[in-house]
Amino acid sequence: YLIARFVSLKEAMQVAKVYMLQWHDMGQQPFAALMRFRQTDDAVINRCQKWAEGNYRTPSPVAAMTKLSGLSERSFVRRFAKATAMKAIDYIHALRLEQAKQMLETGDLPVEAVASEVGYEDASFFGRLFRRKVGVTPAQYRIRFGALRRALSRD
């Protein structure tokens, strides 16, 4: 609370995540960022990653990245996995889930609206994926990480 009050809310959230101030039996999974650093060795894949960062909400983003790369689908899949150590769809899911985590921490949109905002048409799929990757449901995540924001807004 003091860090948020005198430094910034963003810094307070980072400190809370690093030091796991709300301990639970799941370890650090909900606190961890899902994204790895963007690789830079493969220029084609790097360009696709940059495009994905701004366009992950679009329908069929993997197909769009394949087209952007100018590679065949098979070559794109192979090169993307080699360059990033993840499948292209997993990369898109990670981008979407990181944005969803931010929205849940800082906003009051219903979970279904958050799912739609980050590119998921099916809110139940979003909820299952979020729980599998983050370790808690979107609602539980909001409660855990939105508490600091709510406490500060009362001041």
CB-based contacts of 88, cutoff 8 Å, min separation 6:
48, 62, 65, 66, 76, 77, 80, 81
Instruction: Return the number of other C-beta atoms located less than 10 Å from residue 90's C-beta.
Output: 16
CA count, 13 A, side-chain hemisphere, 8: 4
Handedness of CA 115, 134, 39, 86 (dihedral sign): negative
The two structure tokens encoding residue 142: 């909001």
Question: Which pLDDT tens digit goes with each residue over 26-68?
Answer: 444 455 554 555 666 889 999 999 999 999 999 999 999 999 9
Question: Which pLDDT tens digit goes with each residue over 59-116?
Answer: 999 999 999 999 999 999 999 999 988 999 999 999 999 999 989 988 889 999 999 9
Q: Quick one: pLDDT band at residue 7, thresholds 50, 70, 90?
A: confident
Domains of the chain, each with CATH number or no CATH? 1-150 (1.10.10.60)
The two structure tokens encoding residue 153: 């807004």
Question: Taking 70 as the threshold, does the pLDDT of residue 146 lie above it?
Answer: yes
> What pLDDT was estimated at residue 144?
83
Which DSSP helix (H) or strand (E) runs through 132? helix 123-134
CA count, 13 A, side-chain hemisphere, 60: 5
Given a contact cutoff of 8 angstroms between Cβ atoms, the answer to whether 154 and 1 are in contact is no
Q: In angstroms, how far is CA 106 from the centroid of its own chain?
A: 14
Single-letter code of the amino acid located at 40: T
Question: Which pLDDT tens digit goes with each residue over 11-30?
Answer: 877 777 666 545 444 444 45
